[in-house]
Amino acid sequence: MKKTKTLTIVILICLIFFGVITIFVGDGGEKQKEYENALVQAKDYLERGMYQLAIGEYEKAIAIADSEELRTAVLDAYEKRYEESTSILDSYILAAQSAVSIYSNNPEYYLVLANVYLRNDDYQAAYKTLNNALNNGVNDEEVSRLYLSIKYAFDTDWYTYTDFLPATEGVYPVMNSEMWGYIDETGSGETDFDYSFVSQVGDEGIRVLADEQILLVDSSDVVRGKLSFVPMQAGIYSEGLIAINNGENFGYYNSLGDYQFGNYIAAGSFKNGKAAVALKEDLWSIVDITGKIVSDKSYQNIRLNLDGSYLYNDIMLAKENGKYKIYQEENPIGNFECDDIDVVTSDELIAFKSNGKWGFVNTKAEVIIKPTYDQAKSFSNGLAAVCVDGKWGFVDELGNIVIECQFYDVDYFNSERHCMVQTTTVDWQMISLKVNF
């Protein structure tokens, strides 16, 4: 291997010499001699393993007559010195940046610079470097591969949870063994896990907590109300009401914990004065904040979104006659129908099931990615979860798997580019993308 590298260096120096010799015609030969001496000296220093001195000679030659061959040679010398000592990192980065700036169509220079950044764990700078390469029209397979690898690289938080609920208002309820607490979307704010029951966080930070008492508490930890029973399940407080299961059915309660109305088998959160409720199995409708049914239609199911609402930008997902459709308000959009469907998020690219496989459709009822996957969840913050052969990973909006299918289950990426994933059959952990894009 060392002989091959030495031969490559010799050939490179010969190319440098013969490729630029015409530059010096007419200057009396002084610059040519200086240039030739720098190359000879650089070769000698390389053979002696004196890489910093070799770098100095190459830089002298570059100052006289720049070329891609010389830039390649000096970066090779930097690499050899860096392998001996990382103290040269800043100078190595500057040399690679200079090569990229002057020879912006050379993919090798972008790769060198990106990999130097990665050695310093600077994924953001490495991503920016390769993104610039693609924007400059560099068409190289290795650049594209490394770009995607960096773009979707992630860290895994060391802390594990036995269960969690989806984030609302930037907060996840999480369980440690049998007790619950809260963390934010970045995984911070771990509590002492004091509660036997918690709900997701709603308007004004109001949520249900079960300790010695069953309380409704706001974001300032002020007790706003109390319940006389331990809930089996609780929804999300919104527009003055929260759906709570008292052990038999769901009813709506105010922030004081007073029962208002309802006896439903399922109930969502209010948005713009309306909520979806299940009157009985396979019979859903829409009610206002007094409990009055305000829809002329009924449905076999209405899909509730991550915040418990049934509408997102006037889009509703519901089941009629055995098929799910996409509705604008309550009017079907196009002829699209499917066997099952996920939720609407801000990405507005929805996972759906047809003929046993899952794909993705937009809110205009246009199929964007044909059903391919065993299971899938809707896109959220640029990524969608998919399941292949029993394991979950993530795809981009082109359908490329960018985080390999390796998890037992997964949630949705949040706005902080973090996501809860099940790393073992009993443990959930939070992963976070290294790069903001």
Return the half-sphere exposure (C-beta side, CA atoms, 13 A cut-off) of residue 429.
15
The answer to whether 114 touches 106, Cβ cutoff 8 Å, is: no
pLDDT of the chain along its 437 residues, tens only?
444 444 444 445 454 445 544 555 555 589 999 999 999 999 999 999 999 999 999 999 999 999 999 999 999 999 999 999 999 999 999 999 999 999 999 999 999 999 999 999 999 999 999 999 999 999 999 999 999 999 999 999 999 999 999 999 999 999 998 899 999 999 997 667 999 999 999 999 999 999 899 999 999 999 999 999 999 999 999 999 999 999 999 999 999 999 999 999 999 999 999 999 999 999 999 999 999 999 999 999 999 999 999 999 999 999 999 999 999 989 999 999 999 999 999 999 999 999 999 999 999 999 999 999 999 999 999 999 999 999 999 999 999 999 999 999 999 999 999 999 999 999 999 999 999 98
Which positions ≥6 away from 422 have C-beta within 8 Å?
392, 407, 408, 409, 410, 428
Token pair of 352, please?
Answer: 């759906």
Token pair of 123, please?
Answer: 């994924």
Token pair of 385, please?
Answer: 């979860």
Note the CATH number of domain 2-156: 1.25.40.10
pTM for this entry: 0.88
Beta bridge partners of 120: none
The phi, psi pair for 109, rounded to 5°, reads -70, -40
The answer to whether 254 touches 260, Cβ cutoff 8 Å, is: yes
Q: Where are the domains of the chain?
A: 2-156
